[in-house]
């Protein structure tokens, strides 16, 4: 009769009960033991050649919240085609959408897919939608229904048609996909022989208790050997968000290089965000499509900066004493007082150059949140962070700026190499754009830099060169962490946050 530990015996008999082969999940449910206990026992049985363990990769597919909504109501294009069929196969687009009771965010989706699936055709001249055929239920709808009924499915067990539908629903962001490893325990011929001969549980002590020590029973007790290779339950200790950790590291490196931090408010006067940076008052960046304007209060006060405002006004209108002809357009102080959410952190550089605490020579940086009404995609957000810097000193050249930016891209962002492309900004000349490359990731654009023009520095009372740069630090983190979608930087996915390591 073979002698096994109690948990080993229990696990082997459970697998026998389940037909000689079972997944660890089945064994856990049947034996009511913990995951760690089952895996330790399975590994011990494998070492004794009584069982063998193999792994199978599984792709788990389940609906996300939007997918569940469409599973209940129907895909947007299905709701639209149903409405169109009830309207005798032809209708003005707005009427069909209203009849289908489609939400605004799903309207373009429905129109796109109803044409892609060739269920209907849209005439843009007459703004009408006409049915091409009465469609049967398609595979993406079948998969949607299946997942809604069962909660989740293993992709490897689906038919080829439904597997294609998985990719469709994935592109439409209606499903969540999780990669899992399934472990299968199978009894070997030696294991079956051992079971037939009989199994005996071996009493072992897993820990010394006061009772064992006081009574002296520990002398006769058999201590269970500790298997350091056995898997244990994962424990996730508390830690700072990887992106916040990265920002702290960047700040620390900049301070080590001798930079001092600039800080300021998120609501800024247009004067510091645009005018002081020699951006004309008719520039597209100042349109509502380029900046968020504060509704109330609409205006701030520039009374503390009367002389500087006067200098900037003259520079815009005639060039003042900068050697420029200016923008040759009337400058509105009221427009300069308009309040906005800062669209870049360069406004902090303008304020720093005006500060009584400014030191020449001096190096300053800021890391701050900026706001622009961008269209959300994998490289753009309406809220993003920017790392801003200025270096103020005599005899500075573009070579100094390029050398610093290259060091920043390689040492801070972990890029393999950097390059510079000529660019244009109203407030710098010359101007360059920084791009960095990382193997396996490719080239990514970080932002702009240059030397502040006299039209910026002289009205602020600065008579020495000022190197300036403003880089998208979110993108720096993407390169560092190997992320290809900027939205993941601010993800609330706990599993991703726990596993991500930034070295």
pLDDT value at 503 more than 60: no
Instruction: Report yes or no on 38 lying in a domain.
Output: no
Average pLDDT on 148-153 reads 89
Q: How far apart are CA 399 and CA 405, in angstroms?
A: 10
Neighbours of 251 (CB within 10 A): 16
pLDDT value at 19 more than 80: yes
pLDDT value at 268 more than 90: yes
Instruction: Report yes or no on 302 lying in a domain.
Output: no
Average pLDDT on 112-125 reads 88
Confidence label for 2 from pLDDT (cuts 50, 70 and 90): low
pLDDT value at 23 more than 70: yes
Whichever domain contains 348, its CATH number is 3.30.930.10
Pair 249, 105 in one domain: no
Rounded alpha-carbon distances, angstroms, from residue 293 to 266, 364, 463, 469: 12, 28, 33, 25
Q: What single DSSP character describes residue 276?
A: G
Split into its structural domains, the chain has a count of 2
What pLDDT is recorded for position 203? 61
| 438 phi and psi angles, rounded to 5 deg | -135, 135
pLDDT value at 352 more than 90: yes
Average pLDDT on 164-191 reads 87
What pLDDT is recorded for position 205? 65
Helix (H, G, I), strand (E, B) or coil at 226: coil
99 and 86 Cβ atoms separated by less than 8 Å = yes
Instruction: Report yes or no on 17 lying in a domain.
Output: no
Confidence label for 351 from pLDDT (cuts 50, 70 and 90): very high
Q: What single DSSP character describes residue 377?
A: B
Pair 172, 249 in one domain: no
Instruction: Report yes or no on 328 lying in a domain.
Output: no
Q: How far apart are CA 188 and CA 49, in angstroms?
A: 7
Residues whose CB is less than 8 angstroms from the CB of residue 395 and which lie 6 or more positions away in sequence, other chains included? 465
Average pLDDT on 59-66 reads 90
Pair 125, 258 in one domain: no
- Each residue's pLDDT tens digit, 234-251: 677 777 888 888 899 889
pLDDT value at 177 more than 60: yes
Q: Is the pTM of this model over 0.75?
A: no
Pair 356, 493 in one domain: yes
Q: What single DSSP character describes residue 409?
A: I
Among residues 82, 80, 132, the alpha carbon closest in space to that of 108 is found at 80
Q: How far apart are CA 202 and CA 380, in angstroms?
A: 63
Residues whose CB is less than 8 angstroms from the CB of residue 392 and which lie 6 or more positions away in sequence, other chains included? 353, 358, 359, 360, 361, 362, 363, 364, 462, 464, 465, 466
What pLDDT is recorded for position 450? 93
Helix (H, G, I), strand (E, B) or coil at 82: helix
Pair 140, 254 in one domain: no
Pair 117, 254 in one domain: no
Q: Which structural domain, as residue segments, surrounds residue 420?
A: 245-265+342-499
Neighbours of 396 (CB within 10 A): 16
Pair 371, 256 in one domain: yes
Average pLDDT on 295-320 reads 95
Pair 251, 361 in one domain: yes
Pair 367, 481 in one domain: yes
452 and 428 Cβ atoms separated by less than 8 Å = yes
388 and 408 Cβ atoms separated by less than 8 Å = no
Pair 409, 486 in one domain: yes
At residue 213's C-alpha, the angle toward residues 210 and 215, to 5°, is 100
Window from 78-92, 211-225, 251-265, 433-447 with minimum mean pLDDT: 211-225
- Each residue's pLDDT tens digit, 407-426: 888 887 778 889 999 999 89
Give every strand in the sheet of 260-261, ordered side by side: 260-261, 362-371, 383-392, 466-472, 442-452, 428-438, 417-422
Whichever domain contains 165, its CATH number is 1.10.10
**Average model confidence (pLDDT) for the chain?**
87
pLDDT value at 223 more than 80: no
- Of the two residues 19 and 479, the one the predictor is more confident about is 19
Instruction: Report yes or no on 300 lying in a domain.
Output: no
Instruction: Report yes or no on 330 lying in a domain.
Output: no
Domain end: 177, 208, 231, which one?
A: 177
What pLDDT is recorded for position 297? 95
Instruction: Report yes or no on 102 lying in a domain.
Output: yes
Window from 197-211, 274-288, 365-379, 383-397 with minimum mean pLDDT: 197-211
Q: How far apart are CA 316 and CA 311, in angstroms?
A: 9
Alpha carbon 134 to its chain centroid, in Å, reads 41
Domain end: 129, 156, 177, which one?
A: 177
Question: Radius of gyration of the chain from Cα atoms?
Answer: 33
What pLDDT is recorded for position 496? 76
Domain end: 161, 177, 193, which one?
A: 177
Instruction: Report yes or no on 287 lying in a domain.
Output: no
Average pLDDT on 344-370 reads 93
- Each residue's pLDDT tens digit, 181-193: 888 889 888 888 8
The tokens describing 306, both together, are 């009367």
The tokens describing 226, both together, are 């500790």
Sign of CA dihedral 113, 119, 125, 126: negative
38 and 29 Cβ atoms separated by less than 8 Å = no
Pair 385, 260 in one domain: yes
332: left (phi over 0), alpha (psi -120 to 50) or beta: beta
Q: How far apart are CA 339 and CA 79, in angstroms?
A: 44
pLDDT value at 325 more than 80: yes
Residues whose CB is less than 8 angstroms from the CB of residue 237 and which lie 6 or more positions away in sequence, other chains included? none
Pair 173, 249 in one domain: no
The tokens describing 431, both together, are 């101007």
**pLDDT > 90: percent of the chain:** 37
Q: What single DSSP character describes residue 205?
A: B
Burial 413-444 (b: 16+ CB within 10 A, else e): bbbeebeeeeeebbbbeebbbbbbebeebeeb
What pLDDT is recorded for position 319? 94
């Amino acid at each position: 009769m073979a002698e096994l530990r109690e948990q080993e015996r229990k696990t082997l008999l459970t697998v026998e009960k389940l037909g000689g082969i079972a997944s660890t999940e089945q064994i856990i449910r049947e034996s009511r033991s913990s995951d760690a206990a089952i895996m330790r026992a399975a590994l011990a049985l494998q070492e004794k050649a009584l069982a063998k363990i193999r792994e199978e990769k599984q792709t788990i597919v389940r609906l996300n919240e939007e997918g569940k909504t469409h599973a209940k109501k129907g895909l947007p294009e299905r709701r639209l085609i149903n409405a169109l069929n009830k309207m005798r196969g032809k209708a003005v687009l707005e009427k069909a959408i209203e009849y289908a009771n489609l939400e605004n965010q799903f309207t373009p989706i429905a129109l796109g897919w109803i044409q892609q699936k060739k269920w209907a055709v849209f005439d843009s001249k007459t703004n009408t939608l006409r049915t091409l055929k009465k469609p049967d239920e398609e595979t993406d709808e079948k998969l949607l229904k299946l997942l809604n009924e069962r909660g989740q499915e293993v992709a490897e067990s689906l038919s080829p048609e439904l597997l294609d539908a998985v990719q469709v629903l994935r592109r439409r962001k209606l499903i969540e996909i999780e990669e899992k490893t399934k472990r299968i325990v199978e009894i070997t011929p030696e294991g079956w022989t051992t079971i037939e001969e009989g199994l005996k549980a071996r009493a072992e002590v897993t820990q010394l208790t006061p009772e064992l020590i006081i009574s002296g029973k520990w002398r006769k007790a058999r201590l269970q050997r500790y298997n350091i290779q056995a898997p244990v339950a994962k424990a996730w200790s508390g830690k700072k968000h990887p992106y916040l950790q990265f920002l702290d590291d960047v700040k620390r490196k900049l301070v080590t290089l001798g930079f001092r931090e600039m800080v300021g408010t998120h609501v800024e006067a247009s004067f510091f965000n645009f005018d002081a940076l020699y951006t004309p008052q008719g520039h597209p960046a100042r349109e509502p499509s380029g900046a968020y304007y504060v509704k109330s209060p609409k205006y701030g006060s520039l009374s503390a900066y009367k002389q500087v405002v006067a200098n900037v006004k003259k520079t815009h209108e005639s060039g003042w004493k900068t050697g420029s002809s200016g923008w040759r357009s009337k400058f509105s102080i009221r427009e300069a007082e308009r309040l906005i959410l800062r669209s870049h952190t360069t406004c902090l550089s303008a304020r720093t150059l005006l500060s009584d605490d400014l030191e020449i020579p001096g190096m300053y940086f800021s890391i701050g949140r900026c706001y622009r009404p961008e269209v959300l995609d994998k490289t753009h957000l309406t809220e993003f962070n920017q790392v801003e810097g200025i270096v103020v000193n005599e005899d500075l050249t573009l070579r100094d700026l390029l050398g610093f930016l290259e060091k920043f891209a390689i040492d801070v962002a972990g890029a393999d190499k950097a390059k510079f492309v000529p660019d244009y900004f109203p407030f710098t000349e010359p101007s360059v754009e920084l791009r960095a490359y990382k193997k396996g990731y490719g080239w990514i654009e970080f932002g702009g830099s240059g030397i502040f023009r006299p039209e910026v520095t002289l009205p602020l009372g600065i008579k020495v060169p000022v190197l300036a740069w403003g880089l998208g630090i979110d993108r720096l983190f993407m390169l560092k962490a190997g992320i290809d979608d900027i939205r993941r930087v601010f993800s609330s996915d706990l599993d991703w946050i726990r596993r991500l390591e930034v070295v």
